[in-house]
Amino acid sequence: MDALQELEHRGRVVLVTGAAGGIGAAIAERYAADGAAVGLVDFDSTAGQALAKRLGAAGHHVCFVKADVASFVECDAACSVIEKMLGPVDTLVNNAGISPKHAGKPVPIWRMEPAEWHRVIDVNLHSVFNYVRRLAPGMVDRRFGRILSMSSVAGKAYLDIVAAHYSTTKAAVIGMTRHLAGELGPYGITVNALAPGRIDTPMVAGAPREANEAVVGVTPLRRLGKPTEVADACLFLSSPRSDFITGQVIDVAGGWLMT
Ligand code: NAD
């Protein structure tokens, strides 16, 4: 079998949100390397354009669109550009997310600004609605789709290193994943979520060193995860090897919590 035939996502069109950095950039790179055309969405246009340029120079079919995932209007426009440039999107990865900290620490609920609560819900949860609402009709029409969303182990267990808004959204993503798997399954669409543990990205680099060391100490594999390890789980969940898997939450956490 020649190398090209082994690419499982050849001919596929993937849209990744929060694709400019961290886990999202690793996901975009892995899909591109596996033969997919990849639409990158992020509100950081400097990093997003740089990644698109680098992947394009390597011969991959990618395009970057700047958008705030919290806005349905911007989501609609971004999806239209990507569909025009790359074709109908068959694989959606809802990856963008934020976990605001104050001096490296999560703010307790009794001191949380309402604006911060609402912003986290908008970015981490309403974004999933926005992109699924925009792209699911095409998937339903074509009777095929793969939808992946980034939850977190914080959506399944109490962690004192994140704030209430973050864990609330990550738990909601799990509920939404199961509901959508039920609704969309009859149309050939699978819907799954990833629950990363502590992954070495800019989001985690912002936390105090002791906080990361404490997690490593209780993680059976005794290290932080790599963005590429989350990306590999995404590729599996949209590949033909997982065609009968839907409504699941896959931990990529080195055994941390085992929720
Ligand atoms: P990150 O902060 O390193 O990168 C997030 C990316 O999303 C950035 O490129 C950022 O510009 C983009 N983004 C943020 N808000 C956006 C918005 N409103 N519109 C468009 N783009 C936006 O984060 P990460 O660590 O790579 O996390 C990626 C996802 O994985 C998030 O959903 C996060 O909650 C989840 N997660 C991360 C970890 C971890 O340990 N890093 C653990 C569990 C879950």
Q: What is the domain range of residue 36?
A: 9-252
Residue type, 178: R
Supply the residue whose CA is at minimum distance from atom 2 of ligand 1: 203
Q: How far apart are CA 126 and CA 221, in angstroms?
A: 33
Number of domains, the chain:
1
Q: How far apart are CA 234 and CA 250, in angstroms?
A: 9
N-term to C-term CA, the chain: 40
- The reported pTM is 0.98
| Within-domain flag for 64 | yes
pLDDT at 207: 84
pLDDT at 2: 52
| Within-domain flag for 257 | no
Here the CATH number for the domain that contains residue 153 is: 3.40.50.720
Determine the distance separating the centroid of ligand 1 and the alpha carbon of 25, expressed in angstroms.
10
Residue 41 phi/psi, 5-degree rounding, is -120, 130
Supply the residue whose CA is at minimum distance from atom 35 of ligand 1: 150
Query: Pocket of ligand 1, candidates 16, 17, 42: which has the most ligand atoms within 8 Å of its Cβ, to mutate?
Result: 42
pLDDT at 5: 59
Read off the tokens for 20.
């400019």
Q: How far apart are CA 165 and CA 154, in angstroms?
A: 11
pLDDT at 203: 86
Mean per-residue pLDDT pooled into runs of 10, the chain (259 residues): 74 98 98 98 98 98 99 99 98 98 95 98 99 99 98 97 98 99 99 98 87 96 98 98 98 95
Of ligand 1's atoms, which has the minimum distance to the CA of residue 170? 34
Could you tell me which residues come within 8 angstroms of residue 226 by beta carbon, excluding any fewer than 6 positions away?
26, 199, 200
The H-or-E segment that residue 154 falls in is none
Of ligand 1's atoms, which has the minimum distance to the CA of residue 47? 9
| Within-domain flag for 2 | no
Q: Number of helices (H) and strands (E), helices first, in the chain? A: 9, 7
Please give all residues whose beta carbon lies within 6 A of any atom in ligand 1, as ranges.
Answer: 18, 20-24, 42-44, 68-70, 95-99, 123, 150, 152, 196, 198-199, 201-204
Determine the distance separating the centroid of ligand 1 and the alpha carbon of 27, expressed in angstroms.
12
| Within-domain flag for 4 | no
Determine the distance separating the centroid of ligand 1 and the alpha carbon of 109, expressed in angstroms.
22
| Within-domain flag for 258 | no
